[in-house]
Amino acid sequence: MQSDTKHDQGKRAGQVAESKAKHYLESQGLRFIMQNFRVPQGEIDLIFKDMQQWVFVEVKYRGSSIRGHAAEYFTASKRSKMNKAIMCFLQQRNLNIHHTSLRIDVIAIDDTKLTWLDSV
């Protein structure tokens, strides 16, 4: 029972972090497209357009830095899964990877401090 509560708390914290990231990026002039694009190959937390460029955003949240900072949790494995999800997203919209401007950004939130890492 305890683990369900911790899981639910973690899920809620993740949703709050994604909402905070979404509002922050909108305030920076990016145009929100969608949230939580999921395919079997992976997931994309947030998708925006920055002028004509697609921006795929991974949101990482840590309530405490005891086990490391949020940005450190954007691992090579997570990036690989995200790249696969991006390919699916582009295919579903008939967008050619070679002719589509895109980038991957990370929003790292450590407790209340938000850091935007663009083009990671």
Beta sheet of 113-117, edge-to-edge order: 31-39, 42-50, 53-62, 102-110, 113-117
pLDDT of residue 7: 62
Predicted pLDDT at 1 = 46
Task: Give dist(CA 58, CA 49) in Å, integer.
Answer: 14
Q: What confidence score (pLDDT) does residue 6 get?
A: 63
pTM for the complete prediction? 0.89
Predicted local distance difference test score (pLDDT) of residue 109: 94
* Residue found by looking up tokens 């405490």 in the block: 64
Is the pLDDT reported for residue 78 higher than 70? Answer: yes
Query: What is the residue extent of each domain of the chain?
Result: 2-117
Q: 48 and 30 in contact (C-beta within 8 Å)?
A: yes
What pLDDT, on the 0 to 100 scale, is given for residue 3? Answer: 54
Residue identified by tokens 């509002």 is: 23
Is residue 100 scored above 50 in pLDDT? Answer: yes
* pLDDT band, very low/low/confident/very high, at 120 (cuts 50, 70, 90): confident
CATH classification of 2-117, choosing from 3.40.50.720, 1.10.3720.10, 3.40.1350.10, 3.20.20.70?
Answer: 3.40.1350.10
